[in-house]
Amino acid sequence: MDLPLSTRNVSGPGGDRTVVEVGGEIDVYTAPKLREQLVELVNDGSYHLVVDMEGVDFLDSTGLGVLVGGLKRVRAHEGSLRLVCNQERILKIFRITGLTKVFPIHTTVDEAVAATD
């Protein structure tokens, strides 16, 4: 199982952000790849992340755990982790788990990049 991942740096009114674009399924098999990417970004000094999940078809508890872990890592450096998600089936998972209160969730990357902390 492969997890399509790409990163790019974007500047906006909220400052510089690193956008992590994720596609496919984030599950027990693919989540470690996302975890590695988030850890590497934080270790390299990227503390303001936007995870673009528009291309995500499926998200399980392992994937949620990776996102929460990423949030903890960036917060340890006064950073932020924003999500971009506009798919109802994925948003429902965040609502059911109460994670909508933990993560800022935006409908577009531009909106997430423009948001101030």
Residue 99's CATH number: 3.30.750.24
pTM for the predicted model, two decimal places: 0.94
- If you count them, how many residues does the chain have? 117
55 CB-near residues (< 8 Å, 6+ apart): 4, 21, 22, 23, 24
Q: How far apart are CA 89 and CA 43, in angstroms?
A: 32
Query: 2 pLDDT band (50/70/90 cuts)?
Result: confident
Asked whether the predicted pLDDT for residue 94 surpasses 70, the reply is: yes
Query: Tell me, what DSSP letter sits at residue 108?
Result: S
Residue 100, judged by CB atoms within 10 A of its CB (0-12, 13-18, 19+), counts as middle
Q: What is the pLDDT of residue 112?
A: 92
Q: How far apart are CA 48 and CA 34, in angstroms?
A: 16
Band of pLDDT at residue 117, cut at 50, 70 and 90: low
pLDDT of residue 100: 95
* pLDDT for 1 beyond 80: no
State how far the Cα of 98 lies from the Cα of 14, in Å rounded to an integer. 25
The domain of 23 spans 5-114
Angle CA 42–115–72, to nearest 5 = 30
pLDDT in tens, 39-77: 999 999 999 999 999 999 999 999 999 999 999 999 999
Domain count, the chain: 1
